[in-house]
Amino acid sequence: QYPAGGSSTNPFL
Amino acid sequence: GDLHWVVKPEEKMKFDAIFESLGPSGGILTGDKVKPVLLNSKLPVDILGRVWELSDIDRDGMLDRDEFSVAMYLVYRALEGEPVPMSLPPPLVPPSKR
């Protein structure tokens, strides 16, 4: 769902 | 377009007041300021995660005034028993984001 190496911008994940 | 935003002016005023009460910096609220407010709704965290996905339209991990209104709208509807959509319907996209 998120690009590899990228961090989630969703505080609930 | 001339599509009306589903967030009504009186709701927007209420959501804007909550937004201001949370102490936005530069017109935006960070995820850690918004998170406890959404958790307060007692909705399941996976639902709140989807609310965040739908409302953080530019995916910067923060909510501006209009994105916050979308989040609050979805939370209030969810509390009334309406399902949170999997993607943001056009009437829910703030006019400033179209």
Q: What SS3 class is residue B28?
A: strand
Instruction: Name the closest residue on chain B to residue A1, using Cα atoms.
Output: B53
Cβ-Cβ contacts under 8 Å, A9 against chain B: 31, 56, 59-61
pLDDT number for residue B2:
60
Cβ–Cβ contact B31 with A under 8 A = yes
Question: What is the DSSP annotation of A1-13?
Answer: ---TTPPP--TT-
Give tens-digit pLDDT for B2-49.
678 999 999 999 999 999 999 999 999 999 999 999 999 999 999 999
The alpha-carbon radius of gyration of chain A (Å, integer) is 7
The more confident residue out of B51 and A4 is B51
Asked if ipTM goes beyond 0.85, one says no
Q: pLDDT at residue A2 above 50?
A: no
Q: How far is B4 from B47, CA to CA, in rounded Å? A: 26
Q: Return all residues near B34 (Cβ < 8 A) that are at least 6 apart.
A: A11, B22, B52, B63, B68, B71
Q: Do B61 and A9 touch (CB under 8 A)?
A: yes
Give tens-digit pLDDT for B60-78.
999 999 999 999 999 999 9
Question: Could you give phi then psi for residue B76, rounded to 5 degrees?
Answer: -65, -40
Q: How far is B90 from A2, CA to CA, in rounded Å? A: 23
The more confident residue out of A1 and B42 is B42
Q: Do A12 and B56 touch (CB under 8 A)?
A: no
**Residue to substitute from B59, B63, B68, interface A, most A β-carbons within 10 A:** B59
Confidence of residue A5 (pLDDT cuts 50, 70, 90): very low
